[in-house]
Amino acid sequence: MNVLRLITLSLLCSACGADGVNEPAPKDYNPISSIQGTGAASPLAGERASTRGIVTGDFQDGDANTQNNLGGFFLQSLAPDQDNRTSEGLFVFDRNAKGTDVGVGDIVTVSGSVEERFGETQLKADAVAIIGKGNATATELRLPAAGTVHNSDGTVVADLEHLEGMFLQVPQRLFVQDLAGLERYGEILLSTEERQFQFTEREQPDAAGYRKHRQRVAAQVLMLDDGRVVQNASPVRYIGDSGSAGRAPRLSDAAESLQGVLRYSRGSGPNGLETWRLMPTSAPRFVVRNPRPEPPAIDAPIIVASFNLLNYFSTIDSGKNRCGPALDQGCRGAESAREFKRQRQRTANAIEQSGASIVGVMELENNARASVEDLTAALAATGGEWRFIDTGTIGDDVIRVGIVYRPDRVSPFGDHAILDASVDKRFDDNRNRPALAQTFRSVDNGGKFTVAVNHLKSKGSPCDDDGDPNRGDGQGNCNQTRTQAALALADWLESDPTSSGDSDILIVGDLNAYSEEDPVRALREAGFRDLLRTRTGSETWSFAFRGESGALDHALASPALAAQVSEVVEWHINADESALYDYNLNFGRDPGLFDPDAVWRASDHDPLLVGLKLQPD
C-alpha cells in the first residue's frame, strides 16, 4: 500500500527546534516508531520508555468529552522516520495515572511501560506533561489493504500494523456490512463493496477458493467503533446519522467523511472481534442507499410465505428447563410478558402486511398447540380469519415448523404428513427438524398444490461425532447432514406423502444452506426449480452473518408448479436491520426504539414470498 505520511505542525514548544519538525528528540526519548517496531509486537514490550508527540485523539476518561472514553489518548510522532514498515502513532493508556487532561493538538511528553493489550501496542503512562501546541494532518487510508494476517483467534484480518495508532482519513465511500455489534459494542463493520456475499451464495464449495475469499474480504473491511470501552452504552451512537430520526443505518448504506485513529482491539471488552477499528475523531456521515422497503404488492390469488420467527415461544423463558415435548429443555424467545407482547405484535404485523395466504413458519415452540394457537390469534387481531394445521408436537427438538393459513383463500386437502428418520433414515431428526407437508386447494378455482416446510440443521454447532465435520469449503458444519436430509425430502415428496394426486409441489423454509451449497444443489438436481435464482437473479439474501449476506431461506418448485409462479419476493425487513429494533429488552435497551406498528426486525431472517396463479383442477 502506498501510504502518505503527512504531519503538519505549528508548534509553540520550548523543547522543539525552530522549524518544529526536524529537531531530534533527546537521547533518553524513544521515537514512537521505535516503540512500535516493524512487527506485530513492540520490541520494547515489558520495558520502560519515554516519548513525545502530538495528541491526535482524546479518549481520556473523566474529562469534558464524555462520549470518547477509552482510558487514554492517541499520540503521533513529531518527526516521522520515513519507514513505511513502522507506525508513527501510539495509544497512551493513562487511566491509572494521576492524569493530565490533554486535548487534540497538545504536544506532550509521556513516560511509562510498554505493553501489548489484545495485540495492540500501548504505553501505560505514569507521567504526562504538555509542552506545546500543534496541528496534525491525517494520513490517508485506502482499502483494500495490501495484505492480510491471522489474529489470535485464527481469523483473517487486514494487515494494517504499520498504521496502528495513527490519525487517518478514509477518502473512499464505505458500505455497512454488519450491525450485530452496534448495540452491545458500538461498532459497525464497513467494506469497500456495497454488499459482501457469502462465498457459497455464488460459488460452488471449494476449500482453496474459500480461503482466497476470506483473504479478499478481510483486506477490504474496517470496523467503525464508537470510541467507548463500555458495553451497551446509552445512547447508541450512529442512530439518526443518516438524516432519518430514530433510524440506525441499514446494510448497504454508505459511510462518508471517515476520520479517526486506528486501533487494534476487541472493542468494548474481551469478547469482541479482534480486528482493526477506526475510533472517530469527527462524526461520520451515513447516506441512505438501502431504504426500508414498502410492503410487497404481489398480483396473485395465493401467496405462500416462508418465515423464520426468531423463536416464537408462548412459554416465557424463565431460565428453567420447561420447554420441548418432554418439558425438559431450555426455553427460547421472550424472557418476559412485555417482550412477548412486543414479539407477538411485530410478528403479526409483518405477516399481515406481507399479504400471505399460507405461511410456513420456523422456530415455533414445539408444544402441542399453545404457540401456534397464539400466533393464529395474533394474526386474526390484525384483521381477517386465520387457522393453523394442527400437528401437535413434531420431533424432539425444542422448536418445530408449522403452517398457518387464510381459510378465505385456501383450504387443506387431506391430512398433513411428516418426514423424519422413521420415514427415511437419511433424514436425521436428531439434527434436522422434521419436515411438514400439507396439500391445499384454492378457494378461488379449486387448484391444488402441496407445500413442504423445512428447517434443516444449522451451521452453528458441529456434527463431528456423526462423521460430518466442517471441511473448510465454505459450507460450514454439518453439510452432509443437511444434504442427506435434502435427498430424503426430494424422494419423499416424489412419493406423494399427502396423497394429493397432484404434481404441484412447493418446498419452502430455512435450509441453513446458501444457494450453491450441496443441499440446495441436491434439490435442483432432483428436478426442483430454484425460484430465487430463476425469478430474482444472483443477488439474493435473507440473512446476514459476520459481514456477509446470503440466502438461507429458499423456495423450490416442482416443474409443474414453477410454471404457475407469478412472482417471488425477498422482503428485506429483517436481515438488513440492527437488532436494536427487535422484541428484546436485554441490557437496558431503550424501549422507545420499538415502534409497535412497524415490521422492522420482526426476526433475523427475511420472509420469502411466492405468488401463485394456480391452474384449476
Interaxial angle between packed helices 370-381 and 337-354, expressed in degrees from 0 to 180 and rounded to the nearest 10: 60
- Average pLDDT for the chain: 93
| HEC readout, 331-398 | CCCCCCHHHHHHHHHHHHHHHHHHCCCEEEEEEEECCCCHHHHHHHHHHHHCCCCCEECCCCCCCCCC
Question: Contact 71/88 with Cβ under 8 angstroms?
Answer: no
Task: Examine the pLDDT at 118 and tell me if it is beyond 60.
Answer: yes
pLDDT (0 to 100) of residue 68: 87
Span 367-395, pLDDT tens digits = 999 999 999 999 999 988 999 999 999 99
Q: Greater confidence, 493 or 9?
A: 493
Residue 16 confidence (pLDDT) above 50: no
Which residues have C-beta within 8 Å of that of residue 601, sequence separation ≥ 6? 346, 573, 574, 577, 578, 579, 580, 581, 582
Alpha helices, DSSP H only, in 429-470? none
Question: Reduced to 3 states, what is the DSSP secondary structure of residue 481?
Answer: helix
Per-residue pLDDT at 18: 31
Q: Is the pLDDT of residue 606 over 80?
A: yes
| Cβ 551 vs Cβ 202: under 8 Å | no
With contact defined as beta carbons under 8 Å apart, do 477 and 448 qualify?
no
Nearest CA-CA partner of 47 in 111, 120, 97, 90? 111
Q: What is the pLDDT of residue 80?
A: 87
Tens digits of per-residue pLDDT, 195-216?
999 999 999 999 999 999 999 9
What is the CB neighbour count within 10 angstroms for residue 325? 17
Helix (H) or strand (E) holding 415: strand 410-419
Domains of the chain from N-terminus onward: 32-137 (2.40.50.200), 140-287 (2.40.50), 302-612 (3.60.10.10)
Residue type, 204: Q
How much is the pTM?
0.93
Three-state secondary structure of 111-155: EEEEEEECCEEEEEEEEEEEEEECCCCCEECCCCCCCEEECCCCC
